[in-house]
Every structure is written in C-alpha cells, then in structure tokens.
Amino acid sequence: MTTASRVTTKGDLTRQAILEDALQLASIVGFHGLTIGVLAKRLNLSKSGLFAHFGSKEALQQAIIETGSEHFIGLVVRPAMELGSAVETLHRLFDGWLEWSTERMAGGCLFVTATVEFDDRPGPVRDQIVEIERTWLGLIADSARRAMALHEFRADLDPAQFAYDFNAILLGFNQVRRLLNDPDSETRARRAFRRLLADAHRDR
Amino acid sequence: MTTASRVTTKGDLTRQAILEDALQLASIVGFHGLTIGVLAKRLNLSKSGLFAHFGSKEALQQAIIETGSEHFIGLVVRPAMELGSAVETLHRLFDGWLEWSTERMAGGCLFVTATVEFDDRPGPVRDQIVEIERTWLGLIADSARRAMALHEFRADLDPAQFAYDFNAILLGFNQVRRLLNDPDSETRARRAFRRLLADAHRDR
C-alpha cells in the first residue's frame, strides 16, 4: 500500500500533515522536546484534536518513526536497490544517507536522535528503532556480500564488519556536521568511505 | 585545583553527590528527562533544596557536563598523555573511551547524549559541548601529529582525518552496543581501529 493510496479522507490528510511537521520538529528538539502542546500550537490545532489522531504520546512517536522510515526508504534505500552493481548500490546508499541527514532532516538524522533517546527505554518505540537499525546494517552487509559474489570485493571480507564501519562513518559525519558545523565534514566522510572501499577491494 | 581540594564544606559535598548521581541519570534518560523533581526524589532532597545548589536547570546541565568532563580527563585523557609513545597514547585513548562509555557511564557516553540533545540549541550548554568535542578531536589529531614526527605514522597522513575516523569508530560502537546489544561490538570497534592504524603506518 503506498502513502498516496492511504491518504483518502480529510482525517488522513490532517494526520499526514501532522506527521510531516512532527518529523522535522523531532529531528531538531528530540522526541522528549516534542510535546503535543508544542505541536498543536505550530499546526494551529487544539491539543485534544491533535491527540485524537494518535491516542497516546507513544503512538505519535511510533507514527513519526514510521513516517521517517517511509521517507528514508523512498529517498535512500529504493533508488540504491535498483542499481545493478553492488558497489554502485553502496555508493548510492552512502550519498543518500548524507542527503537524508543534511537536506531532508531539519535537525540531522531522525534515527540518530531516536537511538540516543530510546536506547535505555525498553518498549515498542525502542523495538521499532532496533528493527530499523538492524535492517539498515543488514542491507549494507547484504550489498557487501553481493559485491563479494560478483568479485567486486575480496573473498575474505567480513560483511558485518563492513556494515559496522560504513555506519560509523555516517555517525561521525552527523556529529561533526551538526555540532561543529565543520565545512570539511562531508569531504572527510567521503575520504573515510573511499578508504573503506579500497580496503574491501584489496587482495590480501 | 583538584576535585578533592574543592570539596570542603557540607554544601560542596552535597553538590558533588548530586552531580555524581545526575551524571549517571543523564546518561540514561538524557538531559531533558533529567528534571529537578526526578533528581530530588532519587536523592531524597527537597526540590527547592536541590535547586538552591545550582540556581537554574541550565546551570545544573552545565555542572553535569563539567563533572563528566573531569571524570573523562581523569579516566581517559591523563593516563594516555603520560605515555611516551604517541601510538601507545592513541591505543590508551581508544581503550579508555570504550571503558568510559561501557563501565563508567550507566547509559553510554554522556557527550554523545548531550551532542544529540543540544546540537540544535544555541546557548552556553551547546558551547560547552562544542569545546569538549573540539578538544577531544584536537587531542587525537595532536597525537597523530606526534606519531608522524616520531616516524611512527607515515609523513603524508592527514591528522584531522585520522581524528575524524577515530571518533567515528567510537560513535559506531556506542550505537551498536547501546541499541543492538551486539556482543561483537567491541571486537568490531577494535578491528576498525587496527585498520585505521595500519593505514596510518602504511607507506604510500
């Protein structure tokens, strides 16, 4: 079911508009800063009206993460998966993530924020983030495995280690870019990625 | 001035006890989850009594980060700086950070939490975190520069890139360890670090 086919009633449209705004706001102020009150004020809705769309703060948090996940799949994952070469897929995933965290998210990657806020809070929101992170790391490892099968990467590469290293570069980028406003952060991330790829190509 | 020489009055002792507890709590629930009310309850103090020690929530946040920074220097930085070899210093900084984020902090590295919560909030707390991150990255880059001068690292290494990569490995570790409880996370972090060192040693 696509997003378009789900949005059919006025209530659905309002719900979608709330989520799009909440998503950006959560990336800036975090999930704890995102109160129903703040959100209602921004959207010129009553608190009870807004609350009726979700039923609980936890349900709103889950819906925000679900919306973020749909955007992420559309922007980063799907275009990368359509490419024939596994190495091209990895390049596209990397570029897509940089675009996602800088251009699409007002306050940096939503999932980085969610991870830090929920890693010590067992519950459905944490489970949802764990699932997203596992899927993300699995996707990178699978692409590396495909590159190995195509002899684009060396046969003794550890795909899970490759995924770990790939992900770490992006987290480093998110921090240096958001906190230090370092103009070299993208160049540094790309250099680290090139080094990772060179190591994956290298024959031992 | 050492911590010991500053703690001289009963008020100082109480303040220090509040900060030690608040530091651990902030690493778990974040700075937004850390309300004066929650903290007072844990410590069996009145809210007004606790508030009197700091004057504002922002001053409390700054004092928590300052306390965390003192612990970090004592545990991670100082022992590493006392070593003669620059490469040994880097190994000790790496090991120290892993110990800091897993053994000393109940909820993972305090500065990772603080970064995500304050990166979009201009003000003195953000400035304090920026200063800590800059100092940390500068320390790693300086150690890499020292290793170059001692011919332990290759002459054309980019020390700032080395610091960026070093830091990214630790952020990757913090996420995978805290969120996914991956038992391999430390092994993966150490492997990534060995690869970084091998690249820094390698002649081009």
B55 Rama class: left (phi>0) / alpha (psi -120 to 50) / beta? left
- Position A11 scores a pLDDT of 80
Dig out the tokens for B165 from the structure. 């990569």
From A198, A99, A118, select the one nearest A157 (Cα to Cα). A198
User: How far is the alpha carbon of A107 from chain B, nearest alpha carbon, in Å?
Assistant: 7
pLDDT (mean) for A20-41: 90
H/E/C letters for each residue in A147-166? HHHCCCCCCCCCHHHHHHHH
- Position A1 scores a pLDDT of 46
Using CB atoms, which residue from B28, B130, B192 is nearest to A164? B192
pLDDT at B1 over 50: no
- Position A204 scores a pLDDT of 47
Q: Residues of A with CB below 8 A from B24's CB? A: none
Q: Is the distance from CB of B152 to CB of B90 less than 8 angstroms?
A: no
B168 and A32 within 8 Å at the Cβ level: the answer is no
A176 and B164 within 8 Å at the Cβ level: the answer is yes
User: How far is the alpha carbon of B32 from chain A, nearest alpha carbon, in Å?
Assistant: 7
Break chain A into its structural domains and give their ranges: 57-201
pLDDT digits 0-9 by tens, A113-141: 999 889 889 999 999 999 999 999 999 99
Q: Which CATH number fits domain B58-201: 3.40.50.300, 3.40.640.10, 1.10.357.10, 1.10.3720.10?
A: 1.10.357.10
Could you tell me the pTM of the whole model? 0.90
pLDDT digits 0-9 by tens, B61-87: 999 999 999 999 999 999 999 988 999
pLDDT at B201 over 80: yes
Using CB atoms, which residue from A32, A119, A179 is nearest to B178? A119
Q: How far apart are CA B3 and CA A186, in angstroms?
A: 40
Q: How far apart are CA B144 and CA B199, in angstroms?
A: 12
Determine whether domain A57-201 maps to CATH 1.10.357.10.
yes
| Interface ipTM above 0.85 | yes
B164 and A188 within 8 Å at the Cβ level: the answer is yes
Dig out the tokens for B37 from the structure. 């009310």
